[in-house]
Amino acid sequence: MSESLVDGKRITLRDVATAAGVTTSTVSKVINDRRDVGPEVRQRVQETIAALGYRPNSVARGLRTQRSDTIAIVTDDLEGIFTNSLMRGVEEVASAADKAVLLCNSYGDREREARQLSRLIDRQIDALIFMSGNRVGPRPEPAMEVPDHIPYVYLYEYGPPGTTAVLPDDQGGAALAVDHLIERGARRIVFLNGPTDWEATADRLAGFTAALERNGLPATSDLVESSPTWDPEDGYATMNALFERVPDLDAVFCCSDDLATGALEALHDRGVAVPNDVQVVGFDNRSLAIHQRPPLTTVALPLVEMGMEAGRLVLGERPIPESLELRVGCSLVARESTRS
Amino acid sequence: MSESLVDGKRITLRDVATAAGVTTSTVSKVINDRRDVGPEVRQRVQETIAALGYRPNSVARGLRTQRSDTIAIVTDDLEGIFTNSLMRGVEEVASAADKAVLLCNSYGDREREARQLSRLIDRQIDALIFMSGNRVGPRPEPAMEVPDHIPYVYLYEYGPPGTTAVLPDDQGGAALAVDHLIERGARRIVFLNGPTDWEATADRLAGFTAALERNGLPATSDLVESSPTWDPEDGYATMNALFERVPDLDAVFCCSDDLATGALEALHDRGVAVPNDVQVVGFDNRSLAIHQRPPLTTVALPLVEMGMEAGRLVLGERPIPESLELRVGCSLVARESTRS
DNA sequence: TTGAAAGCGATACCAC
DNA sequence: GTGGTATCGCTTTCAA
C-alpha cells in the first residue's frame, strides 16, 4: 500500500503538486478531468497521485464548489414497514452517482424536523427526500423553509399542491390482480378492502372496479367489504361477512397480505379449498406472503424502484417538474393461492 | 422570517461581523460559546445573528476543524429484518449529539465497500459503524484500511480479534424465557432450536441449558431439536418431532418467532391447548408475534438500544476499548401463549 | 498548456 | 476582551 500520510497528516493537493513539480491548479485539473492539461504532465501527475495515495478532501472541495454531493432523507418513521426498501432504492442511485445519503428521523415531530432541516441546510446538502415508510398520505409542508436551490420530492407520501411525489400505482396494481384472477377463470370476485381512511384503499378499490368493468363483469357494491383495521383478525371476520353475502364467490382480492392471511384462515375454517374453490390474491408482497398455506399470490409494491425514481429526480440536472405525481407500476407475484 | 440571504447568497460570519461592528473572530467566539467575549458585545452579536438569520456553514467549519460531525453506517444488507430498528437507535443518539448519519449499503461486496469507505474517509467522517441487519456472525476486516483517528465498531455482527462489537445477550434472553416458563409452572420444557450454523442458536441453546440447570431441572439432549431452516414450515415439523420424543412436554421455547408460528400450528393441529396444555415462547419479538393465536409471548431483541450503544461508543470521547464484546440485555414480552 | 493568486467560510493563535 | 491574520484544501479565473 502506498504512503498516503505525510507527518501523520493526509496527503494534500499541494503535496502532489510539489512532488510532481507542478502547481496545485494543474493537479486540480487532472483530478477533475479537464482537457487543458498536456498528456505527459497529466500522466506524471496521475502517477504521483497513485504513488502518494492521494485522495481529494471532499470537505474542502465542497467549501469551494458550494456543493456537498450529499442528499438527505427525512422520514417520519424510520421503522416503517416499507422504509428499508425505499431507502435501498435511494442509496443505490445515490451511490452510483457518488453521492452520499444522510438519514434523519423526525418521528413526525415538526420541531425536530425543523432542527434537522436546519442542520441539513447548514451542511449544504444538494437535495432532499421526504419519505414515509408506512402509509401514503399528505405531509405538511417542510417544517422549515427549504432554500430554492435545494430540490426535494416526496416519497411514498405527498406534499402540498405544486410539489412532486413518487407513489405506487395502486390502481394499476389492483387491476393486475383482478386481471390475473379473471384469466384463471374467476367470475365472482370480491374485494376485501382495508380501512377506508387510508388513501391506498380508495385507489385499489378504483382499480378493482375498473378492471371488473373492463372485463365486462358487474361491479356491484355488495362485492366489496372494508375491514376496520389491517389486522389479520379483522381480515378473518370480513372474509366471513363477504362469504355470507356472496355465497357463490370464486375469488377474493385482499387489500393487503395481512388481511389475506386472515382471509385464508377463514376459508380454511369453512372448509373451502384454495385455490380450487376460491382463489386469493393479496397486496404488498410482504415476506409473510410466501409462508401462507398455500403460498399467497400477491401484488408487489415497487418500493426499490420508487426509491430509485425519487433519487433520480432529485439528482437529475433538469428541474423537478411542478405538481408531478409519479406513479410507479406494481407487479404481480403469482404463487399457489391462484390457479396456474 | 428574518432575512437570511444577501444578494441571494447565504449570510456569512463576515456579514454578521460587519453588521455588528466587530470582527469575525469575535462572532466565531460567540457562536462557539467561548467565555472570552464581553457580555454586551456578545449580546449585540447574538442579536445581529438572530436579526440576519445567520447560520454557520458546517462545510467551512469542517474544513477548518478537520471534523465533519458525521458518522457513517456501512451495512451488508439495508433490507435486513432488523436494520431499521438498529439504525433508529444510531440515528437517535447521533441526532441528539448534533451529528449526522450517512448510510451506505455494500451488499456484502468488498469492492463496493472499499469504494464507499474511500468516499467516506474523503468526507472526513468522524466515526464508522459496520452493521448487519440479519444475522450475528463474523465480518471480515474493513475492505479498506480505516485511518487511526476514525473509531469504528461492529453492530449486530463482529469483526476480527481486537475490535469492538455490540451484540444482543442471546444467552441471557433465552434464560429469561426459561425462567418465565418455570415461573408459570412448566417442568418439561423443550427447545425448538434454529439452524445450528447460526451463532445465535448456540448462544440461545447455552442459555436454555444454563437456566434449566440453575432451576434444578435436567437438561438432557433429547429436549432439544434443531430446525434445518427458520421457516415456519420447518418449525411445524420440528415441533412434531419433539412431541413424539417428549410426549409429556409442557412448554416449548422456540428460537425464533417464525419457528414459533409453525410450532403453534402443529400444536393446534394436534388438539393441544396453548397455553393450558403447553406454553410457548418465541424469540425476536417480530410484529407477527402479536397476531398469533394465542398472541405469542416472546423475547425481544434490544435492537434500538444496541444501535444507541453503538452510537454512544463511536461518539464517546474516551477511546473504544479493544476486544470489547458489549452484550445488551433482551427483555421478555409476556402475552397469551404463556400462563399469567 | 501551465501557473499565480484570490477566495470559499470558518477557526485559532497571538498581539494588543 | 477584542481584533488581525494565517490557514484548512481545493477550485477557478486570468495572465503568461
Task: Classify the C-alpha dihedral A134-A138-A140-A145 as positive or negative.
Answer: positive
Contact B122 A56 (CB under 8 A): yes
Contact B102 A105 (CB under 8 A): no
- pLDDT class of B1 with cuts at 50, 70, 90: very low
The Cα B334–Cα B78 span in angstroms is 30
**Cell numbers 438500544 correspond to what residue?**
B305
The mean per-residue pLDDT over the stretch B170-187 comes to: 98
Euclidean distance between the first and final Cα of chain B, in Å? 58
pLDDT tens profile A203-225: 999 999 999 999 999 999 999 99
Q: B63: which chain A residues are within 8 Å (Cβ-Cβ)?
A: 57, 59-60, 63
- Give residue A7's pLDDT: 74
Set of cell numbers at residue B250: 409442557
Tell which of B5, B59, B85 to mutate to test the A interface (max A CBs under 10 Å). B59
- Give residue A284's pLDDT: 97
Torsion angle (degrees, nearest 10) of CA A144, A150, A153, A154: -30
- Gap from B94 CA to chain A (nearest CA, Å): 10
- Residue type for A34, please? R
- Give residue A9's pLDDT: 83
Torsion angle (degrees, nearest 10) of CA A172, A178, A183, A187: -150
Strands B325-328 and B165-168: parallel
A33 CA vs C4 C1’ separation (Å): 21
Report the candidate in A276, A311, A58 with the shortest Cα–Cα distance to residue A185. Answer: A276
Q: Is the pLDDT of residue A326 over 90?
A: yes
A25 CA vs C4 C1’ separation (Å): 9
The Cα A106–Cα A110 span in angstroms is 7
Q: Which nucleotides of D are covered by protein (CB under 7 A)?
A: 1-13
- Among residues of chain B, what percentage have pLDDT more than 70? 99
User: Dihedrals φ, ψ of A186, to 5°?
Assistant: -75, 140
Which residues 291-310 of chain B have a CB within 8 Å of chain A? 291
Tell which of A68, A95, A229 to mutate to test the B interface (max B CBs under 10 Å). A95
Task: Establish if B80 touches chain A: CB-CB under 8 angstroms.
Answer: yes
- DSSP β-bridge partners for residue A189: A251
Task: Establish if A100 touches chain B: CB-CB under 8 angstroms.
Answer: yes
Strands B251-254 and B189-193: parallel
Contact B84 A85 (CB under 8 A): no
Beta carbon of B24 within 7 Å of strand C? yes
Report the candidate in B134, B177, B132 with the shortest Cα–Cα distance to residue B155. Answer: B132
CB B254 within 8 A of CB B281: yes
User: Which residues are in reach of strand D, CB within 7 A?
Assistant: A 9-10, 12-14, 24-25, 28-29, 31-32, 55-57, 60-61, 63-65; B 21-26, 29, 35-38, 40-42, 60, 63-64, 66
The Cα B297–Cα B301 span in angstroms is 13
The Cα B136–Cα A177 span in angstroms is 38
- Among residues of chain A, what percentage have pLDDT more than 90? 93
User: Dihedrals φ, ψ of B259, to 5°?
Assistant: -60, -40
Set of cell numbers at residue B203: 448462544
Contact B122 A55 (CB under 8 A): yes
Task: Establish if A333 touches chain B: CB-CB under 8 angstroms.
Answer: no
- Gap from A211 CA to chain B (nearest CA, Å): 32
Contact A122 B1 (CB under 8 A): no
Option in B85, B101, B118 nearest A103 (CB): B101
Report the candidate in B154, B139, B144, B82 with the shortest Cα–Cα distance to residue B117. Answer: B144
The Cα B156–Cα B154 span in angstroms is 7
pLDDT tens profile A244-266: 999 999 999 999 999 999 999 99
- pLDDT class of B257 with cuts at 50, 70, 90: very high
The Cα B51–Cα B53 span in angstroms is 6
pLDDT tens profile B56-86: 999 999 999 999 999 999 999 999 999 999 9
- pLDDT class of A321 with cuts at 50, 70, 90: confident
Report the candidate in A151, A135, A169 with the shortest Cα–Cα distance to residue A326. Answer: A169
Q: Is the pLDDT of residue B51 over 50?
A: yes
- Give residue A2's pLDDT: 59
The Cα A284–Cα A200 span in angstroms is 11
The Cα B228–Cα B231 span in angstroms is 9
- Give residue B301's pLDDT: 97
Q: Which nucleotides of C are covered by protein (CB under 7 A)?
A: 1-13
B53 to chain A: closest CA residue = A118
User: Dihedrals φ, ψ of A20, to 5°?
Assistant: -90, -5
Euclidean distance between the first and final Cα of chain A, in Å? 58
pTM given for the model? 0.95
pLDDT tens profile A259-318: 999 999 999 999 999 999 999 999 999 999 999 999 999 999 999 999 999 999 999 866
CB A225 within 8 A of CB A242: yes
The Cα B57–Cα B60 span in angstroms is 6
- Give residue A1's pLDDT: 47
Helix segments in chain A, DSSP class H: 13-20, 24-31, 39-52, 58-65, 83-96, 110-122, 170-183, 199-214, 232-245, 257-269, 303-315
Set of cell numbers at residue A25: 491548479
CB B330 within 8 A of CB B176: yes
pLDDT tens profile A46-85: 999 999 999 999 999 999 999 999 999 999 999 999 999 9
The Cα A175–Cα A259 span in angstroms is 18
Q: Calculate the average pLDDT of chain A.
A: 95
- Among residues of chain A, what percentage have pLDDT more than 70? 98
Task: Establish if A47 touches chain B: CB-CB under 8 angstroms.
Answer: no
Task: Establish if A91 touches chain B: CB-CB under 8 angstroms.
Answer: yes
The Cα B155–Cα B327 span in angstroms is 11
pLDDT tens profile B294-340: 999 999 999 999 999 999 999 986 667 777 899 999 999 999 999 98
User: DSSP for A248-309?
Assistant: T--EEEESSHHHHHHHHHHHHHTT--TTTT-EEEEEE--GGGGGSSSPPEEEEP-HHHHHHH
Contact A79 B84 (CB under 8 A): yes
Q: Is the pLDDT of residue B184 over 60?
A: yes
Set of cell numbers at residue A116: 434537522
CB B142 within 8 A of CB B110: no
E strand or H helix at B70: strand B70-75
